[in-house]
A = this chain, B = another copy of it.
C-alpha cells in the first residue's frame, strides 16, 4: 500500500511490540518506544491510516476450533487464465476448511492451507471440494506436523539498519 513508508526508530519499535501484543497498553508501548503516550497514540493512528498496520487480530488455538489436522494442498488448475485464477482463489477461500490461499508461480498454481477435524475430514474435503471441480487438474496434499510463526517481523529495509 505504501511505497516509501520511511519508518523511523520509534515506528519500528511500536510495530515490533504491537506485533507481539496488539493489546499492549499505550503507557507500556510508550515506555518501550521511548516516547510519550500521546505521541504513541498519534503514531499508531498514522501507521493505520498509512496502511502500514493492516489490522489487529486474535489468534485462536486450532484444536479448540475443531481443526486438529492441518494440511498444505498443492493445486494445479487449467486453463491458467486471470479469470480462472481469481475465481478459484475466492472460491477456495470461501470453503470452511480453507484457512489461507497462496497464488504461486512455477510448479503448482495454488497452495491451500487447510484446517480440519481429522484425517477423514481432510479426505472428504479433497474428494468433495477439489476433485469435483473441473478446473482442478492435479493436487497433492501434505499433512502439517508442526509449524512456527515469527512473533514479530523486523524491517528489512536498508535505511533501517
Asked if A99 and B55 sit within 8 Å, CB to CB, the answer is no
Please report whether the interface of chain A is mostly helix, strand, loop or mixed according to DSSP.
mixed
Our pick among B3, B58, B105 for the contact of A142 (Cβ within 8 Å) is: B105
Asked if B105 and A145 sit within 8 Å, CB to CB, the answer is yes
CA distance A59 to B52 in the complex (A): 9
Asked if B64 and A103 sit within 8 Å, CB to CB, the answer is no
Q: Which residues of B contact A105 (CB under 8 A)?
A: 142-145
Our pick among B2, B67, B103, B145 for the contact of A103 (Cβ within 8 Å) is: B145
Q: Which residues of B contact A58 (CB under 8 A)?
A: 15, 18-19, 22, 53, 55-57
CA distance A18 to B22 in the complex (A): 11
Q: Does A120 contact B (CB under 8 A)?
A: no
Extra pairs beyond A99-B149, A102-B147, A106-B143 (19, CB < 8 Å): A2-B63, A5-B64, A52-B61, A56-B59, A57-B57, A66-B156, A72-B104, A93-B148, A96-B154, A96-B156, A97-B156, A99-B153, A102-B146, A104-B143, A104-B145, A105-B143, A105-B145, A115-B156, A121-B156
- 1/0 per residue, CB under 8 A from B, across A105-148: the answer is 11110010001110001000000000000000000101111111
